[in-house]
Amino acid sequence: MSRAPADPRALLRELFDAALAAVEPGAAVARAIERGGDTVRVTGETLAPERCAVIAAGKGALAMARAWHAHVGAPRTGLAVSREPGALPAPWRALVGGHPLPNAASEAAGRAALEFAANVPCEDALVVLLSGGASALLSAPLAGVTLADLRETTQLLLRAGAEIGELNCVRKHLTVASGGRLAAATPAHRVVVLALSDVIGDDLATIGSGPCAPDPTTFGDAIEVLRARCVWEDTPARVQAHLARGAAGEVPESPKPGAACFERVRHAVIANNETALAALEAAAQQRGLAVTRLAEPLRGEARAVGAEFARRALGLRCGRAQLLIAGGETTVTVRGDGRGGRCQELALAAALALAGEKNVMLIAAGTDGSDGPTDAAGAFADGDTVSRGNALGVGAEDALTRNDSYGFFARAGGLIRTGPTGTNTLDVALVLVGRRT
């Protein structure tokens, strides 16, 4: 049995790193491939490597593409679209898109992916290596909508605290490669999708906006999302008009369940938040910790989730050290003028609930290494976080009111910076609670 580090912060960071290692995209792709002579089996399908065209899209695209190349061989042709630049061997073509807001590169990449899929010969297979972030990275707007419209609509929903399913419901009715359209565009006789899930419940229609999955949502659903989030009136006029025409049957819907194009599609989720949490739990147990894992995922407003998560951890305090862990993805409704992300806001709210408590420490961080429009993955918090902020002239409650969690932790200490991790399987939160004194 491993011994836990004396420094609780170092321990929590070790456990977070164990979770990241378990969802490394290249290793996940390798686990999904069975090599047998001149063929490979993927999702139960037998494929000839030289007859595979491969698209990798999302935050894990580069690692997934490299893993395919290493374990299967060079594809007939390959396209990778990622958030960060990186080199790939021939015949891969590597593109970079914008995230979380799409940019001109995202638009070009979306059209390139659709063209790539459309040009796969019918006797070949199309393999899609999909990971979180693909929605923004492949964001070419449909006719009648501009990139500026798409950016503004995305920003409105993000600031309104929309969950990923809501955001992608709208995206699927505004962009050319989402909502099953990539599968509909290709003549390939088989389409195999290996997905790294960044959504609660691993819904195939939501991961990366489901480029090869049937879309159960409608134009009317997209309008309802915008209305429910109170941003319809602020949504660009061209987006309103496009969605209204779609709801009236004047614009073709995204491909729906039962469409013939999906008969040749096979999906497999090769890593998800559960993968990360299982590795984290095993690593904690190896260090002799008693672990409790929340059965339900973290979701909802980050500040409310953070406060409740801290209270539940304190309720476990007993005669030995306890670790409470959970995964999921919260949201932030932006009302202030500060800067932060959902994990940092969760940690700040938890810090207020933990104020004055001894022998307790929390970490909340995104597995992609990016939390909101900041350079941090998340933050640490303990019973002294609030008092440290006060001593430096920065109030936790004021920062929370202004949605300025990043500003608070930058001053008071506690930011977690990993840089881009190349993966994305939601967020993890864990609290180490020492024994009752």
Chain segment 327-374, per-residue pLDDT in tens: 999 999 999 999 999 999 999 999 999 999 999 999 999 999 999 999
Task: Tokens for 293, please give them.
Answer: 């894992």
How far is 290 from 432, CA to CA, in rounded Å? 10
What is the reported pLDDT for 38? 87
430 contacts 321 by C-beta, under 8 angstroms: no
pLDDT at residue 3 tops 80: no
How far is 54 from 69, CA to CA, in rounded Å? 10
**Listed residue (282, 383, 407) closest to 1, CA to CA:** 282
Tell me the three state secondary structure of residue 356. coil
Instruction: Between 244 and 436, name the one with better pLDDT.
Output: 244
How far is 348 from 364, CA to CA, in rounded Å? 10
What is the pairing mode between strands 125-131 and 190-196?
parallel
How far is 59 from 72, CA to CA, in rounded Å? 21
pLDDT at residue 5 tops 70: no
What is the average pLDDT across 300-313?
97
Residues 6+ apart with CB under 8 A from 349: 302, 303, 304, 305, 306, 307, 310, 400
Tell me the three state secondary structure of residue 360. strand
pLDDT at residue 121 tops 80: yes
Which helix (H) or strand (E) segment holds residue 266: the answer is strand 265-271
* pTM of the predicted model over 0.85: yes
- Partners of 130 in the beta sheet? 57, 195
Percent above pLDDT 70 for the chain: 98
What is the reported pLDDT for 68? 97
Q: For 74-114, how does the pLDDT look when each residue is reduced to its tens digit (9 = 90+)? A: 999 999 999 999 999 999 999 999 999 999 999 999 999 99
Of 30-39, 146-155, 380-389, which range is least confident?
Answer: 30-39
Number of H helices, E strands in the chain: 16, 15
How far is 392 from 253, CA to CA, in rounded Å? 55
How far is 150 from 221, CA to CA, in rounded Å? 17
How far from 42 is each of 66, 139, 219, 334, CA to CA, in Å? 16, 28, 34, 42
How far from 165 is each of 205, 206, 207, 208, 422, CA to CA, in Å? 9, 6, 9, 10, 22
Which helix (H) or strand (E) segment holds residue 155: the answer is helix 147-159
Q: How much is the mean pLDDT over the chain?
A: 96
What is the reported pLDDT for 1? 46
What is the reported pLDDT for 137? 97
Of 3-12, 71-80, 192-201, which range is least confident?
Answer: 3-12
How far is 74 from 91, CA to CA, in rounded Å? 7
356 φψ region: left (φ > 0), alpha (ψ -120 to 50), beta (else): left
What is the reported pLDDT for 437? 47
What is the average pLDDT across 418-435?
94
C-beta neighbour count of 314 within 10 angstroms: 17
Q: pLDDT-derived band of residue 435, with 50, 70 and 90 as boundaries?
A: low
